[in-house]
Amino acid sequence: MSSAFLSTSSTDPSTADDRWLSAGRVGKPHGLDGAFHVTWPRIRVLRDAATVTVGGVARTIKRLGGTDEKPTLVLEGVHSREQVDAIRGQDLMIERAAAPPLGDDEWYAEDLAGCRVVDGAVAVGVVEKMLAYPSCELLDVVRDGQPNILVPLIDDAVRSVDIAAKLIDVNTTFLGLAD
């Protein structure tokens, strides 16, 4: 089970506009020309983007550099370290329609948040957010009157994901939750 360029962005999925995706966040300045590091990058999304919206302002991407793990970006209209500092911490938003197509078993973190989690017909909880860990992504699942659980996005733990139905079927026996 894979999960394409999922975001750990602070964008609240309950208030985010479904037309937009975060491609990363403005990080610290890099040099003197308005370049900056991108934190929480979705490199596949950034690589295909011609423009990003930052703080409600659409800006053309002039240069994408650095590495896939530590990209740097230069935006039209941002020419100094001070201008970068003014937008630091803001999401780099792109229209979902401009994002590259997803493959099989790939989802955006924004689409997983709010999904009901079940084991067959038994309700387990609701996905609050996705967490990116080095070994795999994890679903943070809120359960009524019980502690949250973390569900790894691996085949043994997750049977199916139906984004349209907002439903994720998990194996609670594998997760150690079955009675």
pLDDT at 179: 65
Look at the block and give the residue holding tokens 């300045």. Answer: 29
pLDDT at 11: 39
Amino acid at 134: P
| Successive 10-residue mean pLDDT values, the chain, 179 residues | 42 56 95 94 91 95 94 96 96 92 83 94 94 89 94 94 95 88
Residues 6 or more apart in contact with residue 106 via CB below 8 angstroms: 2, 3, 4, 5
All structural domains of the chain, each given as residue ranges with its CATH number in brackets, are 20-98 (2.40.30.60), 113-170 (2.30.30.240)
